[in-house]
Amino acid sequence: MNRLLYMDWLRVCATFGVVIIHVSAGYVSTLHPGQELSWFIGNFFETLSRWAVPGFVMISGALLLKDQRELPYWEFLKKRASKVIIPFVGWSVLFYIYEVYKGYYPPSIKEGIKLFINNGITGHFWFLYMIIGLYLITPLLKVFVRHAQKHHIEYFLILWLYASVVTKVSNFWFGMKFSLELFFVTDYVGYFLLGYYLNQFEIKKRWRVLSYFGLIIGLIATFLFTYYYTVKGGGQLDQFWYDYFSPTVLLCAVGLFIFFRNNFNERPLSFLFNGINQASLGIYIIHYWLLNNYLWRIFPYLETNFHPVIVIPIKIAITLILSTIIILVLKRIPIVNKLVP
């Protein structure tokens, strides 16, 4: 199969986005009087990056569902195990051992297993639980897309749009939703199939232009609505418009996916970006741990001496560069590289 170069660009940008989300989070948690400018800057960076997680899911769906080879279930899952499940379990064990060392948890195998099952070791691993679930149903989805025509997939996506986006908006604004039994088409499976759809079928020019307008509207609306409802809530962050199933984030994810597909499919990554692309999963795994255990010690110095408009990009750069270097080094160590494929 020919390599889809735009996917590399999307993956790099989504990796940036996830780091930005976690770096900026502390600036928007509460809107304090007299600190509005810092909050606005944090909200600006959060707004730019909320599409990143849906973007990762769409990339996975586009690549995995595009491959129409009829592999036995066990062979497909074996390949996925080496890519995600081994790092997922391995890093969970390492992070738990570190938490025990720091005195946060008792040294108990039973407690470790319980935390692992309940996603209690490190919060950002929710993504790995989710993506592994999608991998488990991918063989079934491949049967669907193999035999589905375009309008069948569009019907699926319309149902998903209603079940996962429209109902949440109606509940947020009006306190009501029509709760049909549509679990088959809810949550991240929709983004998974949407990535396949946007990659597989040609998007006409008028729809491309409309998606770019949607991207701009999505960014502006995410920023303004988050501010409005946060103020309305007394300064406590209202995260609805940051949610990955908010209509504004959906518009951003679709617009960016289409933009990269139509403008970056003949542009290979530079050397620097290629390193980030190769290390993207490892960066996701380790950056949050670095932020919360080590980098927070040096960041107060930056916040004391520089304005947030400078500090946030510096934090992002430090976190991303350090995470990338660590992962690329680990990838060169035999056996250890199984944790960072």
**Per-residue pLDDT, 179:** 75
Number of domains in the chain: 1
pLDDT at 1 over 60: no
For the stretch 284-308, what's the b/e string if a residue is b when 16 or more beta carbons lie within 10 angstroms of its beta carbon? bbbbbbbbeeebeeebeebeeeeeb
Confidence bin at 157 (pLDDT 50/70/90): very high
**pLDDT score for 322:** 95
b/e code 107-121 from CB counts within 10 Å (16+ = b): eeeeebeebbeeeeb
Nearest one of 221, 288, 283, 207 to 249, comparing CA atoms: 221
Distance from C-alpha of 26 to C-alpha of 12, rounded to nearest angstrom:
23
**Is the CB of residue 61 less than 8 Å from the CB of residue 196?**
yes
State how far the alpha carbon of 258 is from the alpha carbons of 6, 15, 119, 194, 245, in Å.
Answer: 10, 18, 33, 11, 18
Cα 213 to chain center, whole Å? 22
Please, which pLDDT band fits residue 334 given cuts at 50, 70 and 90? very high
- Which pLDDT does position 12 carry in this prediction? 97
More confident residue, 80 or 265: 265
Q: Is the pTM of this model over 0.85?
A: yes
Q: Is 30 helix (H, G, I), strand (E, B) or coil?
A: strand
Residues 6+ positions from 314 with CB-CB distance below 8 Å: 302, 306
Distance, CA of 102 to CA of 291 (rounded, Å): 16
Tell me how far apart the alpha carbons of residues 276 and 323 are, in angstroms, rounded to a whole number.
9
Determine the structural domain holding residue 313 and report its residue range.
5-339
